[in-house]
Amino acid sequence: MSTQLEQALNGTITPEMAEIAKAEAVEEETIRQRVADGQIVILKGRFNDQKVVGIGKGLRTKINASIGTSSDLCDIEHEKRKARIAEEHGADTLMELSAAGDLDAIRRQILESVSIPVGNVPLYQAFCETIQKYKDPCKLDPDFLFELIERQCADGIGFMAIHCGINLFTIERMKHQGYRYGGLCSKGGTLMVQWMMKNQKENPLFEQFERVCAILKKYDTVLSLGNGIRAGAIHDSLDRAQMAELILNCELAERAREQGCQAMVEGPGHVPLDEIEANIILQKKMSNHAPYYMLGPLPTDVGAGWDHVTAAIGAAHSSMYGADLICYITPAEHLALPDEEDVATGVKTARLAAHIGDVVKLKGKADEKDKQLSKDRRDFKWGDIFKNLLFPEDARKILETRKSVTSKGCSMCGELCALKNAEVALNQYLKDDKKNRNG
C-alpha cells in the first residue's frame, strides 16, 4: 500500500486529499503538492468510518484532546466518555495516553468509541509493561518496543508521538548547561533518558530510525516527532538541550519523508510570549515547513487551576505565527487527571484560541463568520447569530435564562442598548438626508 506521501509524489490526488481540499476550500492540486513537499500530513485510522484530517500549511489550525488512565485513576468507561465528549465538542484528533490497566484493551476500546483520528505515545505502554515485568524501566528491550509500535499501528492508531530526537548528544547539552529550572516534563522522554544513562546506550528510536519509519509507513501512520526534552518552565525555553532536540527532529522529519513516511514535528511546552514566534520560525525554516504540533504552549508557570486560559493565550499566538496542531490544556493541568468537564472546557478553549490565530493566519477565510456575525448582531438577527457562533448552545442558554424583558437586545444594556439607539439615530439621519436631497 502506498502512503499518502508516496501517492502525492507520484502526482495522484487521493480521495482523502480531495476531501480535505473541499473541507478547507483549498485547491486539490495545492493539497497534493503540499503533501508531496511534507508540508501537510493526512491523518486517519485504518477503519472506513474514521474521519480524515489534514494538518499543515494553509489549513485551519487543528485541536488535539488527550485522555488516558493513570496509576491513581484507572477507569476505562470514564476515559471512553471523555473521548466521546472531546469529539462532540469539536476536537479534530485525540491522543490516548493511558499508563495503567490493560493498555491493549483500553486502546482498542477508545478507537471504537470515536471517529476522529487517534494518536498515542508508544513509550508509555513499553515502559509500563517493562516495569510490571522487571520492576525496572531500564530493562526495556528495544525489540519489544518495536513490536509494540507495530501492534499499535495495526490496531488503527492514526499518528504516533515517538521520541526519536533524544540522543546522547542531546543529553550532554542538558548536562553541560547545568540541568534546568523545571527539570524534565515528558513522561516518555524522561524514562528514555533514564534508560540511556543507566545502560550507557543510544536511544534505539534514534539509532534505528529507519526501522521506525518502515513500520509507520506500512500502515501510513503519521510520525509525530516527540518533544521529550521540551521545556517545563518558561525560563528553560529555547535552552541548548531543547534546541538540540528540535534541530534533530527537523532533520528526522526530512529523513522520514525520504522514506515515504508522513511526519510532523512536536514543539514545547512552556514558552514566554515573546519567544513563541521565534520558536515557530526556527521549526519551519529547519524542517521545510513540516507541520508543527504545539503542546499548549504555556507562556507562564503560575496559572495552575486556570491553565486552559494560560494555554489559550499561547495557542492563539502559536496559531497566528503558523502552528498547525494545538494540544489542548485543561483546568486540571499540573494538578490532577482531567474529568469530563475539564475535557469539554479544554477543547472549547483551545478551539477559540486557534480560531483567534486563524483570523490572522488565514485572513479572508477564517474571519468570514466573524464578519457575518457582526452584521447579524447589529441587526438583532438572533437566529442567524447562533449559526456562526463557535458554541451556539452555550450562548443560547445564557441568552434564554437572562433574557431582556424590555429590549430586543440583551439584558446587558437593556434600554441603553448601543446598537438599538444607533439604529434609531441612523434611520433618522437617513430620513432627514433623503428629505433634504429631495428638496
pLDDT, tens digit, 9 for 90 and up, residues 177-226: 988 999 999 999 999 999 999 999 999 999 999 999 999 999 999 999 99
Res 152: pLDDT = 97
Res 405: pLDDT = 64
Judge whether 349 lies within some domain: yes
Res 1: pLDDT = 77
Res 50: pLDDT = 77
Considering the domain architecture, whether residues 339 and 391 belong to the same structural domain is answered as: no
Considering the domain architecture, whether residues 406 and 349 belong to the same structural domain is answered as: no
Q: What are phi and psi of 138, to 5 degrees?
A: -75, -5
Q: Is the dihedral of CA 317, 320, 321, 324 positive or negative?
A: positive
d(CA 350, CA 343): 11
Considering the domain architecture, whether residues 270 and 398 belong to the same structural domain is answered as: no
The CATH code of the domain that includes 243 is 3.20.20.540
Q: pLDDT-derived band of residue 96, with 50, 70 and 90 as boundaries? A: very high
Long-range contacts of 376-382 (CB under 8 A, 24+ apart): 377/419, 378/419, 378/423, 380/408, 380/409, 380/419, 380/420
Q: State the pTM of this model.
A: 0.94
Residue type, 156: G
Q: Quick one: what percent of the chain has pLDDT higher than 90?
A: 86
Residue 48 has pLDDT above 60, yes or no: no
pLDDT higher at 292 or 427: 292
Judge whether 377 lies within some domain: no
Q: If you average pLDDT over residues 126-143, what whole number do you get?
A: 97
| 359-415 pLDDT per residue, tens | 999 988 899 999 999 999 888 888 899 999 999 999 999 988 988 766 677 888 887
Judge whether 374 lies within some domain: no
Q: What are phi and psi of 224, to 5 degrees?
A: -105, 110
Which domain-ending residue is among 361, 395, 428? 361
Considering the domain architecture, whether residues 398 and 337 belong to the same structural domain is answered as: no
Considering the domain architecture, whether residues 325 and 416 belong to the same structural domain is answered as: no
Res 336: pLDDT = 96
Judge whether 368 lies within some domain: no
pLDDT higher at 399 or 103: 103
Is 115 strand, coil or helix? coil
Res 434: pLDDT = 65
Judge whether 370 lies within some domain: no
Residue for cell digits 489559550? 312
Lowest mean pLDDT among 262-266, 316-320, 418-422: 418-422
Residue 68 has pLDDT above 90, yes or no: yes
Considering the domain architecture, whether residues 285 and 427 belong to the same structural domain is answered as: no
Considering the domain architecture, whether residues 63 and 137 belong to the same structural domain is answered as: yes
Q: How many domains does the chain have?
A: 2
pLDDT higher at 423 or 58: 58
Res 433: pLDDT = 65
Judge whether 333 lies within some domain: yes
Res 413: pLDDT = 82
Residue 436 has pLDDT above 80, yes or no: no
Q: Are 21 and 28 in contact (CB under 8 A)?
A: yes
Judge whether 375 lies within some domain: no
Judge whether 308 lies within some domain: yes
Q: Quick one: what percent of the chain has pLDDT higher than 70?
A: 96
Considering the domain architecture, whether residues 281 and 218 belong to the same structural domain is answered as: yes
Q: pLDDT-derived band of residue 419, with 50, 70 and 90 as boundaries? A: confident
- The cell for 38 is 511534507
| 225-280 pLDDT per residue, tens | 999 999 999 999 999 999 999 999 999 999 999 999 999 999 989 999 999 999 99
- The cell for 377 is 448582531
Q: Strands, E, within 139-215: which ranges?
A: 159-162
Residue 39 has pLDDT above 80, yes or no: yes
Considering the domain architecture, whether residues 329 and 283 belong to the same structural domain is answered as: yes
Res 109: pLDDT = 96
Considering the domain architecture, whether residues 389 and 343 belong to the same structural domain is answered as: no
- Nearest alpha-carbon partner for 256 in 203, 298, 212, 297: 212
Considering the domain architecture, whether residues 394 and 245 belong to the same structural domain is answered as: no
Res 430: pLDDT = 62
d(CA 359, CA 367): 5
Q: pLDDT-derived band of residue 139, with 50, 70 and 90 as boundaries? A: very high
Res 417: pLDDT = 83
Average per-residue pLDDT for the chain: 94
Considering the domain architecture, whether residues 303 and 405 belong to the same structural domain is answered as: no
Q: pLDDT-derived band of residue 316, with 50, 70 and 90 as boundaries? A: very high
Domain that holds residue 424: 382-438
Contact partners, residue 120, CB within 8 Å, separation at least 6: 95, 96, 97, 107, 152, 157, 160, 161
Q: How far apart are the first and last CA of the chain?
A: 78
